[in-house]
Amino acid sequence: MKIEHIAIWTKHLEEMKDFYTRFFKGTANEKYINPKKQFESYFIQFQSGTRLELMRRPDLTPGKEEMEGYAHMAFSLGSREKVDEMTRRLKEEGVPVVGEPRVTGDGYYESVIQDPDGNLVELTV
């Protein structure tokens, strides 16, 4: 079993696409547009085969700050050094780092950043 894709609703479709393609080396497909439903989306394909679907529709209303559903996604970078390097690079680029690199209580080495919509992204070994 594998995760086929993770989907995120966003009001900042182009900024989110640029973020995930620039910093995580994803490849975006051509934008899908459904004019009848006013729906737009991109699929971002990563080297591992996992995909991220970014979706926008103008009739979305803001939800609660914490709710059931998306909590975070994690990218495995392969080493502690790469976690440290990526965290430092993102911080220098102005990306919010909400959890500096550390060993968690259950033994993972990770840092936590926020994407342009404030979604949490873990950078792990």
Is the same domain home to 2 and 53? yes
> Is 41 a member of any domain?
yes
Residue 95 identity (one-letter amino acid): V
> Is 115 a member of any domain?
yes
Q: What pLDDT is recorded for position 10?
A: 86
What is the per-residue DSSP string for 27-83?
EE-PPEEETTTTEEEEEEE-TTS-EEEEEE-TT-----SS-SS--EEEEE-SSHHHH
Q: What is the mean pLDDT of each run of 10 residues along the chain (125 residues)?
A: 78 94 96 91 93 86 54 88 97 97 90 93 92
Is the same domain home to 36 and 17? yes
> Is 64 a member of any domain?
no
Query: Which string of b and e fits 49-78 if b means at least 16 CB within 10 Å?
Result: ebbbbbbbeeeeeeeeeeeeeeeeeebebe
Residue 51 identity (one-letter amino acid): R
Q: What pLDDT is recorded for position 114?
A: 95
Q: What pLDDT is recorded for position 106?
A: 77
Is the same domain home to 48 and 12? yes
| Contact predicate 28/17, CB 8 Å | yes
Q: What pLDDT is recorded for position 2?
A: 67
Q: What pLDDT is recorded for position 69?
A: 57
Q: Which domain holds residue 10?
A: 1-59
Q: What is the pTM of this model?
A: 0.76
Question: What contacts 25, CB < 8 A, 6 or more positions away?
Answer: 46, 47
Is the same domain home to 115 and 75? yes
Q: Of the residues 59, 91, 107, which one is the last residue of a structural domain?
A: 59
Cα(92)–Cα(90) distance, rounded to whole angstroms?
Answer: 5
What is the count of structural domains for the chain? Answer: 2
